[in-house]
Structure formats: C-alpha cells, structure tokens
Amino acid sequence: MARTGRFVGCFVGSVIGDALGAHFEGSWETPTLDVVQKHTRHYLERRHPQLPYTDDTAMAKVVAESLIRCKDFDASDMARRFCDEYYGDKGRGYGFNVVTVFERWKLGSAEERPFEPAKLQFGGEGSEGNGAAMRIAPIAIFAYNDWKKAAEIASGCARLTHSHPNGITGALLQCRAVFQALHANQDESQFANAFIDDLKKHVVQESPGSVYDEKLENARKLLHQNAPPSAGDVADNLGNGVRAKNSVVTAIYAFLHACKWSMNFRDMIEFAISIGGDTDTIACMAGAIGGGFWGIEKIPKMWQENVEAVDIVSEMAEQLSDMRST
Ligand code: AR6
Ligand code: MG
C-alpha cells in the first residue's frame, strides 16, 4: 500500500477509536466484549448521525493544524490554538485539571510563557494524565523520517500541558509506538519482542526510574502466554486509568495483542474498549498505532462514514505527510 494510506490510517484510526470508545468512558462497570460489539457493530451496519469525537481528537487536530501552519513546532502558536479550540468548543470532555492551563493561557501567558501554566498543575508536580499521549499521532506522521525530531516535538508538545515526567514519557512512548507502526513491515506480525525492545531503547532508557519499564515487561509477559489473556487480565496488569502510566502501555499492548492473535483493526478497537476505564483514550491510542500499521484500507468504511471529522483528519494526514522531513 502507498505510504500515504498508512499516514491517513493512523490519524483516522485514532479518531475512530476515540469516538467509538467514548460511549463507555468511565463506565461504572467494565463493558464485556459482547456489549462493546453491540455498540461498535451498530455503526458498521448502516449510516447513522456521526459519532462525535472528544478532546483527544480536538487536541490532535490542533497539533496537526499548528504543525501545518508553522511547518515546525511553535510552542506559543500551539498553546494559543489549544486555548482557542477549548474556548470555542468546551464540551468535548476535557480532563478535569488541564482546563486550568487553558485558563492561565487565556490570562495572557500563551504568547510569552507557554510552558509555565503546566508547571503549576498538581501543586507543582505537573500532570501525569494521558492527555499528552492521546494527541501525538500527527507528530509521528510529520516527523516520519526523523525520530530525533519526532521526539523533540513530542516532548515540547507534551510539556505545554503535562510537565510530570510520566506524562511526558507516556507521550514519547506513544509517539515511538506510532512511529514504529508506520515503518513496520506489514507482512510480519510476530514482532512483539522487537517492538517492546525498541520502545525501551528509544524512550525508556532515556528516562531513568520510569514506571514504564515494569509495564512494558508486564506486557511482554502477557504476550508470551499460550492463550490470549482476557481484557480483565490486561486491565489488572497494565491498568486502564486516565494517568499515562495506566493507559499508554495498555494501548500499545492492545495493538501487539491484535498482531499476535491475528486480529484486524476492528477486533483490536473492540478489544481495546473492552479493557474498560479510559476507553476512548485507550482505543484512540491503539487506533493510531493499528491504523498506521494496517492503513486506511483496513479500517471499516462504515466506521469512517459514521465518525465525525474523518474527512478533515484524512486531509490533514496527507498534508502532514507531504511536508514530512526528508
Ligand atoms: N496527581 C494526581 N492525579 C493526577 C496527576 C497528578 N500529578 N496528573 C494527572 N492526574 P489532566 P489530561 C489525574 O486534567 O491528561 C479526558 O477524559 C487527575 O485525575 O491533566 O488532558 C480524555 O479523554 C486528572 O484529572 O488532563 C483523557 O482520558 C486526570 O489525571 C483524559 O481526560 C487527567 O489529567 C486526558 O486528560
Ligand atoms: Mg479519555
């Protein structure tokens, strides 16, 4: 498949995971796979009013817009756009605390000191929510040929709202996972060990003391089992919460699980949602990785029809891929 199909698949996959997963976000009870499928397959049958995307996609679109407009990472521009997006469309389900960053930017710091408000979050500790990881797909597309650049942009983009090391490393891990998926040989699907080794080498080893080492080893163990672990086992071992350390490796795992057990994009999204907890964001991150690996052709057409803004992010993915660093 032409490479563009994988770039488009990456951004579209993330939006579809977000919109389909949103139905179950924070559900009191973790949905069974049957319950998830009842929801997701409904949107496979015929056209419906489009499912709205949430803050995951609202912020990823801003990242893409800023990169397209500035042709590089410009912290002030991106901060201003995040802020404008939020005040123009507040009801997208933003994280509880990140909105105080927008409030401070609005008071005037977006232009001169875009990184300052994030440093004040959680008594100065910074946010370790998964909000920096969930919006990373456009960066992996934009810097497809240059990991160093991708990592630099991902880290800057993360620090605009998330200054806690776990928030930043979570974003870098998700970025590297998408980056790898876009480059991976599609004829090969048993690459879990090498994929995890790569994440450790390029991200975790650079971030001493990170909790992600343990999580990735837990994921490796799950992938070595002789039978597919249940979604509940995955949640118990890797987490399903809103903090990056409890959801980024979970999403990466959902993709590797799908590859190992010969599942397709649809199965992967449904499995990711059935892990429960922060379902939209876990499915969004898994969708970016899986969409980048399998490409747009393998994403069900009816899901594409039934989700908001698929046409817009497809166009953005093409623009980003045209301008990617050579
Ligand atoms: N200490 C305690 N709790 C924390 C900390 C911390 N240092 N950091 C994060 N949390 P936020 P986001 C918890 O507000 O990352 C949407 O639903 C805390 O409960 O910075 O952009 C999306 O779909 C905080 O409210 O926003 C994603 O699921 C929460 O993490 C998610 O929100 C989110 O951190 C993205 O949220
Ligand atoms: Mg979420």
**Domain tally for the chain?**
1
Residue 127 near residue 52 (C-beta atoms within 8 A) = no
Per-residue model confidence (pLDDT) at position 161 = 98
Give the number of C-alpha atoms closer than 13 A to the C-alpha of residue 189, restricted to the C-beta side.
12
Probe target for ligand 1 pocket from 242, 247, 248, 285, with the most ligand atoms within 8 Å of CB: 242
Q: How far is CA 305 from CA 33, 51, 138, 140, in A?
A: 23, 10, 21, 25
Global pTM value: 0.98
Cα distance between residue 176 and residue 147, in whole Å: 8
Cα distance between residue 194 and residue 111, in whole Å: 42
The closest residue, in CA terms, to atom 2 on ligand 1 is 122
| CB of residue 127 inside a 6 A radius of ligand 1 | yes
Residue 46 near residue 302 (C-beta atoms within 8 A) = yes
Q: How far is CA 145 from CA 128, 141, 201, 202, 226, in A?
A: 28, 9, 18, 15, 36
Could you tell me the residue range of the domain that residue 70 belongs to? 3-323
The SS3 call for residue 226 is coil
Per-residue model confidence (pLDDT) at position 1 = 54
> What amino acid occupies position 115?
F
Among all bound ligands, the one having the nearest atom to the CA of 128 is 1
| CB of residue 283 inside a 6 A radius of ligand 1 | no
C-alpha 150 – ligand 2 centre gap (Å): 23
| CB of residue 129 inside a 6 A radius of ligand 1 | yes
Nearest-10 crossing angle of helices 231-238, 212-224:
150
C-alpha 132 – ligand 1 centre gap (Å): 10
Give the tokens for residue 91: 């009801």
C-alpha 227 – ligand 1 centre gap (Å): 33
Cα distance between residue 324 and residue 326, in whole Å: 6
Number of H helices, E strands in the chain: 18, 0
Per-residue model confidence (pLDDT) at position 27 = 83
Instruction: Tell which atom from ligand 1 comes closest to the C-alpha of 241.
Output: 28
Per-residue model confidence (pLDDT) at position 3 = 80
C-alpha 143 – ligand 1 centre gap (Å): 27
Residue 253 near residue 274 (C-beta atoms within 8 A) = no
Residue 275 near residue 237 (C-beta atoms within 8 A) = no
Cα distance between residue 65 and residue 69, in whole Å: 6
Longest pairwise C-alpha distance within the chain:
56
User: In CATH, what number is assigned to the domain containing residue 80?
Assistant: 1.10.4080.10
CA neighbor of 135 nearest in space, from 156, 117, 119, 158: 158
pLDDT along the chain (326 residues), means of 10: 88 98 91 97 96 98 98 98 98 97 93 96 97 98 97 98 97 98 92 97 84 96 97 98 98 98 98 98 98 98 98 98 74
